[in-house]
Amino acid sequence: MPERKQVTRKEVAERAGVSVAVVSYVVNDGPRPVSTETRAKVEKVIEELGYYPNELARSLSRKQTATIGLITPSLLNPVYAEIADSLERFCTAEGYMVMLCGTGRDPNKEKKLAETLRAKQVDGVVIMPSQALQEILSPLQQAHIPTVVLEHDLADTHCIVIDDRQGGRLAMQHLLSLGHRRIGLIKRETYSPHGYWREVGCREMLEESDISLDPALVIESKAGQAAGYAAMQQLLALPNPPTAVFCHNDVLAMGAIRAIFDAGLVVPADISVVGHDDTLSIAYLNPPLTTVKFPVMEMGHRAGQIILELVQQPDSLPAQTITLPVELVVRASTAPPPKHS
């Protein structure tokens, strides 16, 4: 296969009968004005020759790549997808491209991706780490690359989190108000900070109601619908199953609802289910899912605002943690417990 030769600005200039500087003004839309006739002539030659700017050379001259890296635990989780979409929309509108990196919750891959983004000299990085926080941040901090961390509250770092504690309280308060007393909890692994605080909120509401949480009703789960299905099966196998379940997120809740259905039971007539996140599809489940809503799109938008401000004005913002509020959205997946319970 013959080697592909990139067309140069000099070749464009010679074919169009203009200077290299004029070609640059057309490509970069400035800094000096170009007449309509000359611009049309240069653009025609650019199309004929298939010329495109050398972005590497441009980034070296500008000392910026106009690229933001996003490290996310999963490309399948709808919450992370919505955050990525919101971030990408904001950055694109400001002239920046987002380089999306999925880790599959593998700490080694997270660290490797951080090193890769550093090597590619991205202007900034937004991170949703799963574990090994400092190992991910260190390569970027050493290179003085601005970073924004989501879902973790770290000292001396720009962070955006949600009020997970309040989320747990709202979910449990709702189920208690319906009359449930034996409530299951499908939570994420212990290293999950938002999972920890959601459980704290749940336990607080139970304690305030003088109800102790049976350890058998707390199931630690991995991510995904299949994991939610398996966790719900464990709860259903108990001699005295729960009348309601609060799931760490909507994805686990979807798996739990399927397990209840496959066991010949009905949601919410036999068991009520509450999720967390209010992802786009769960309002269309059968039944629609009661869930704790947090502003997913706002998280991506705010992350974009902060990271670009840090890129363009490095010392403009003091490091701080922004906490986004949550609210309960009641749908048809919750009801009072069955009378026989």
Mark whether 181 and 264 lie in a shared domain: yes
CATH number, domain of 281, equals 3.40.50.2300
> What does the alpha-carbon distance between residue 120 and residue 143 come to, in Å, rounded to a whole number?
11
Nearest to 172 by CA among 216, 238, 231, 218: 218
Q: pLDDT, tens digit, for every residue of 174-219?
A: 999 999 999 999 998 766 677 889 999 999 999 999 998 899 999 9
pTM of the model as a whole: 0.78
> Average pLDDT, stretch 94-122?
88
In a domain? residue 334: no
The number of distinct structural domains making up the chain is 3
> What does the alpha-carbon distance between residue 126 and residue 151 come to, in Å, rounded to a whole number?
11
In a domain? residue 335: no
- The residue among 36 and 32 whose pLDDT is bigger is 36
Mark whether 225 and 290 lie in a shared domain: yes
Range of the domain at 105: 64-162+296-323
Mark whether 68 and 190 lie in a shared domain: no
> Average pLDDT, stretch 271-278?
96
Mark whether 233 and 257 lie in a shared domain: yes
> Average pLDDT, stretch 156-176?
95
Mark whether 188 and 129 lie in a shared domain: no
Mark whether 169 and 114 lie in a shared domain: no
What is the per-residue pLDDT for 107? 83
What is the per-residue pLDDT for 56? 47
> What does the alpha-carbon distance between residue 303 and residue 24 come to, in Å, rounded to a whole number?
33
> What does the alpha-carbon distance between residue 98 and residue 123 come to, in Å, rounded to a whole number?
10
In a domain? residue 206: yes
pLDDT > 70? residue 59? no
CATH number, domain of 34, equals 1.10.260.40
pLDDT > 70? residue 52? no
Mark whether 175 and 272 lie in a shared domain: yes
* Average pLDDT of the residues of the chain: 88
> What does the alpha-carbon distance between residue 113 and residue 116 come to, in Å, rounded to a whole number?
5
> What does the alpha-carbon distance between residue 188 and residue 198 come to, in Å, rounded to a whole number?
10
In a domain? residue 3: no
Q: pLDDT, tens digit, for every residue of 320-341?
A: 999 999 999 999 999 999 987 6
> What does the alpha-carbon distance between residue 294 and residue 299 come to, in Å, rounded to a whole number?
9
Mark whether 113 and 198 lie in a shared domain: no
What is the per-residue pLDDT for 205? 95
> Average pLDDT, stretch 126-141?
81
In a domain? residue 31: yes
pLDDT > 70? residue 33? yes
Mark whether 91 and 233 lie in a shared domain: no
